[in-house]
Amino acid sequence: MNFSLALQQHFEVFEKLHHQLPEIETAAAVVVNALQKKGKVLLIGNGGSAADAQHLAAEFIGRFKQERAAIPAIALTTDTSVLTCLSNDYDYTYIFTRQLEALCRPEDVVIAISTSGNSLNVLNGVKTAKNMGAVCIALTGQNGGKLEGLADFCIKAPSQDTARIQEAHIFIGHVICEYVEHTLSATDHLKKGV
């Protein structure tokens, strides 16, 4: 294990990520727009991407940097009863599809996280969400995979290494959270209730 090389690769990814800032800002504005229309943020992903979905949902609901009202967000990766039911009764490739059929509305935004951009359950979920009229933002690796052509917006972490992609994804999620929090707080949309 070469720690110096890993750190160098991390820095290189983030230097290249600088070129994705317009896409990140657009995605953040899309989230703000959905929330201003009384929509919610729905997040999906597998493995480390599932953990990122949960992490970001917690940042929206709790707080990121400001004390403010909660932002409606749901990670569809957390309910083990639902996940195991759907995997058993249907198929693992439909775990997000069924949840989105139940929870997604046209005013919502779905954030689909997949390092490869080819996770079948994520692709199926995005297809369902789009059919329901929701806007879909994808976070992928540099190739984008099939998700790039399916989502409305795709932010591609500039790496093929899963660990480096996931490090970039959580940064992107944090930047989106901060933008959303700042923008909505500035318009009193997130005025903290009692």
User: 14, exposed or middle or buried, with CB in 10 Å at 0-12, 13-18, 19+?
Assistant: middle
The pLDDT value recorded for residue 113 is 98
User: What per-residue string of b and e applies to 108-143 under the rule 16 or more CB within 10 Å gives b?
Assistant: bbbbbbbbbbebebbbbbbebbbeeebbbbbbbbbe
116-126 average pLDDT score: 98
Burial profile 61-79: b = 16 or more Cβ within 10 angstroms, e = fewer:
eebbeeebeebbbbbbbee
> What's the rounded Cα separation, in Å, for the pair 12 and 120?
29
Q: Is the pLDDT of residue 192 over 60?
A: no
- Domain map (residue ranges) of the chain: 11-186
Q: Mind listing the pLDDT tens digit for each residue in 49-82?
A: 999 999 999 999 999 999 899 999 999 999 999 9
Q: What is the pLDDT of residue 110?
A: 98
42 bridge partner residues: 74, 110
**Residue range 17-42, pLDDT digits in tens:** 989 999 999 999 999 999 999 999 99
Q: Which value, to the nearest 10 degrees, does the dihedral of the CA atoms of residues 48, 50, 51, 54 take?
A: 160
Multiple choice CATH, 11-186, 3.30.420.40, 3.40.50.10490, 3.40.50.720, 3.20.20.105: 3.40.50.10490
- Asked whether the predicted pLDDT for residue 194 surpasses 60, the reply is no
Q: What is the pLDDT of residues 129-175, one digit of tens each?
A: 999 999 999 999 999 999 999 999 999 999 999 999 999 999 999 99
